[in-house]
Structure 1
Amino acid sequence: MSKNTVLWVLRILVGGLFIFSGLIKINDPVGTAIKLEEYFDVFSNDIAGFFTYFKPFALHIGVVLVVAEVVLGVMLILGVKLKQTVWALALMILFFTFLTFYSAYFNKVTDCGCFGDAIKLTPWESFYKDIILLIMISVLLFFRKDLPEETPKWAAVSALVVLVLSFGIAVWAIRNLPFIDFRAYKNGVSIPTNMQPSSQLEYTYVMKKGGETFTFDQYPTDESYEFVEMVLKNPEALPKISDFAAWNAEGDQSEFLFAGNKVIILSSNMAKMSEANLDKLAVLVKSLEGAPVDVVFMAAATQEEIDAFLSKQNWSVIGLQADATVVKTIMRANPGVMILKDGVVMEKYHHNNTPEATDVLDLFL
């Protein structure tokens, strides 16, 4: 195999992986921003306090990164300014490798978000993936003089079109909701069902005796063995949802939410909640009065803050507390609306797309 063939194959592999990774995250830029905020929090505590100043710009940084992934991947494959493109990819993969190594070694951010919510990788899997990419890009960088120098006009125009389309898709996803929902709360999912194991959990028992380690499918009756750990044999059977909860002063209200027809208005951060469409939400709340539906306002806030907000808006609805991470996972809008029927997610809406009451009631028929 000639050198040029190897370089061409590497361009396709690296470019294709960057395009795939970028497209998944362009589908959900808000999710990328949430992940970046986690990193900024960790870095501000562990490295330098100034990282906290990046948090308000996490969404803007996220959009730039995910669009750059797609555009640079396309430029690499099509042959647009290859030397500059390879340098840009090298800098980007160095940045990503640092993030994934930090996550894996210090166990700080347990999900790097490399492929959004579509493909979950452990921190070390993410790091090894980046190492492989780093090696391939290093080869391209080393042999950059052998890469084509001329940029075909059609390729440059194509890269520009991809840039515009990628940015447009990202903005659309921010102002609406992700095109494809890869999370555990997507439409059609039964939340209570997903909170249960899909099958019986099976464990192996690691024991020690006389300096040797033994593994058993059943806990040994011989008391001379020293217990070391339990290892789950079928992790795929674990509940897909493990942290859902909603409560008020009367206690946990999850079972209440899973019974009957529910319209849940969600806010992950009331201080940052958009007021742009509160009037539309108010119309929805008012229109559902007397309907066979429970309207709930569920927020990551204190009960006092929730009650004060409902009083200010003059909404006669049930106010519940929830964890911010759970609300962010459910809804990529602040606020947003989720429709539940007996615990099944019927539909989710960005506040920019607040539905009419008739549309909501039709979902329960």
Structure 2
Amino acid sequence: MNKQAILWLLRILVGGLFIFSGLIKVNDPVGTAIKLEEYFDVFSNDIAGFFYYFKPFALYIALVLVVSEVVLGIMLILGVRLQQTVWALALMILFFTFLTFYSAYFNKVTDCGCFGDAIKLTPWESFYKDIILLVMISFLFFFRSDLPEETPKWASIAAMASLVISTGIGIWAIQNLPFIDFRAYKVGVNIPVNMQPSAPLEYTYVMKKGGETVYLDQYPTEEGYEFVEMVLKNPDALPKISDFAAWNAEGDQSEFLFAGNKVIILSSSMAKMSDANLDEIGSLVKAMEGAPVDVVFIAAATQEEIDAFLNKNGWSIIGLQADATVVKTIMRANPGIMILKDGVVIQKYHHNNTPEATEVIDLFL
């Protein structure tokens, strides 16, 4: 295989992977922003305090990054401004490789979000993936003088169109909800069922006996064994949801939430909660009075803050506390609305798309 064929193959592989990764994340820029905020928190504590000031701009940075992945991948394959494209890809992969190495080596951000929530990679898997990409892009970079210099007009138009379309998709996903929900709380999921193992968990017991390592399917009852560790044999059977909880002063209220018809208003941060559509949500709350539905407000806040918010808005509903990470996983809007029927997610709404009471009632019929 000659050099030009290798360069063309690398353009297809690298460009295709960037397009694939970018399209998954442009579907959910808010999820990428959440990951960036995690990195900024870690870097502000471990490297330099100024990283903290990037947090308010995380969503804008996320949108630029995910759109850039898509557009640069298309430009690389179509041959648009290849010299500049390869430079941009090289800088981007260096940035990503640093992030994934930091995550893996220091065990700080355990999920880099490289492929959003669609494909979960361990920190080291993410790092090795970026190393492979770094090698391929390095080859393109060092032989960039051998890449075509002229850009076909149609290719430039296609690249510009991809910029406009991917940006539009990202903005739509921010203002509404992701087109495709890859998370554990997507519509149709039975939350209490997914909180249980899908099959009995099986373990291998690693023991020491007489200086030798022994692997047993059951914990030994006789003497002479020294316990080393337990290894799960069927990790695929682990619960898909392991962190859901909502509580008040009376304790965990999960069983209450999973029984009957529920309209749940969620806020991951009351300080950052948008008030743009609170009147519409308030109208929904009022209209649901007397209906065979429990309306619940769940927020990552103190009970005092939650109660004060409900009193201020005149919402005579139950207020519960929850973990911010869980709320962000469930809902990519602040606030957002989730409809549950016997623990099954029936529908989810961004606050920009607050439904009418009749629409919600129809979901339970």
Same topology, TM > 0.5: yes
How far apart in 2 are the matches of 1:341 and 1:57? 37
Amino acid at match of 2:141: L
How far apart in 1 are the matches of 2:209 and 2:42? 40
Alignment of 1:322-361 (within 5 A): 322-361=322-361
Residue of structure 2 equivalent to 1:186: 186
Alignment of 1:212-361 (within 5 A): 212-361=212-361
Q: Write the deviation string for residues 65-90 of structure 1: whole angstroms up to 9, x where unpaired.
A: 00000000000000001111011101
Q: Write the deviation string for residues 42-101 of structure 1: whole angstroms up to 9, x where unpaired.
A: 111111111111111100110010000000000000000111101110110011001001
* 1:35 and 2:35 correspond: yes
Alignment of 1:12-23 (within 5 A): 12-23=12-23
How far apart in 2 are the matches of 1:9 and 1:316? 62
How far apart in 1 are the matches of 2:135 and 2:338? 44
How far apart in 1 are the matches of 2:284 and 2:221? 62
> When the two structures are aligned, how many residues end up with a matched partner?
365
Classify the secondary structure of the residue corresponding to 2:121. Answer: coil
Amino acid at match of 1:190: N
**What is the root-mean-square deviation in Å for CA atoms of aligned residues?**
0.8
Q: Write the deviation string for residues 195-250 of structure 1: whole angstroms up to 9, x where unpaired.
A: 00000001111112344322222223342221111011111100000010011111
User: TM-score if structure 2 supplies the norm length?
Assistant: 0.99
Residue of structure 2 equivalent to 1:164: 164
How far apart in 2 are the matches of 1:213 and 1:115? 38
Q: Which runs of 5 or more residues in structure 2 are unaligned?
A: none
Q: Which runs of 5 or more residues in structure 1 are unaligned?
A: none
Residue of structure 2 equivalent to 1:150: 150
Amino acid at match of 1:17: L
* 1:121 and 2:121 correspond: yes
Residue of structure 2 equivalent to 1:176: 176
Residue of structure 1 equivalent to 2:5: 5
Amino acid at match of 2:135: I
Q: Write the deviation string for residues 130-183 of structure 1: whole angstroms up to 9, x where unpaired.
A: 000000001111111110010111101110010011111000000000000000
How far apart in 1 are the matches of 2:302 and 2:172? 32
How far apart in 1 are the matches of 2:111 and 2:236? 17
Classify the secondary structure of the residue corresponding to 2:271. Answer: helix
How far apart in 1 are the matches of 2:136 and 2:38? 29
Residue of structure 2 equivalent to 1:95: 95
Residue of structure 2 equivalent to 1:110: 110
Amino acid at match of 1:64: V
User: TM-score if structure 1 supplies the norm length?
Assistant: 0.99
- How much has 1:4 moved relative to structure 2? 0.7
Classify the secondary structure of the residue corresponding to 1:345. Answer: strand
How far apart in 2 are the matches of 1:153 and 1:222? 78
How far apart in 2 are the matches of 1:325 and 1:91? 30
* 1:209 and 2:209 correspond: yes
How far apart in 2 are the matches of 1:208 and 1:260? 51
Amino acid at match of 1:54: F
Q: Write the deviation string for residues 273-309 of structure 1: whole angstroms up to 9, x where unpaired.
A: 0000001001101111100000001000000000000
Amino acid at match of 1:311: N
Classify the secondary structure of the residue corresponding to 1:74. Answer: helix
Classify the secondary structure of the residue corresponding to 1:120. Answer: coil
Which 10-residue stretch deviates more, 201-210 or 232-241?
Answer: 201-210
Classify the secondary structure of the residue corresponding to 1:264. Answer: strand
Amino acid at match of 1:286: K
Amino acid at match of 2:329: T
User: Percent identity at matched positions?
Assistant: 84
Classify the secondary structure of the residue corresponding to 1:272. Answer: coil
How far apart in 2 are the matches of 1:160 and 1:236? 42
How far apart in 1 are the matches of 2:312 and 2:48? 40
How far apart in 1 are the matches of 2:151 and 2:211? 65
- How much has 1:262 moved relative to structure 2? 0.2
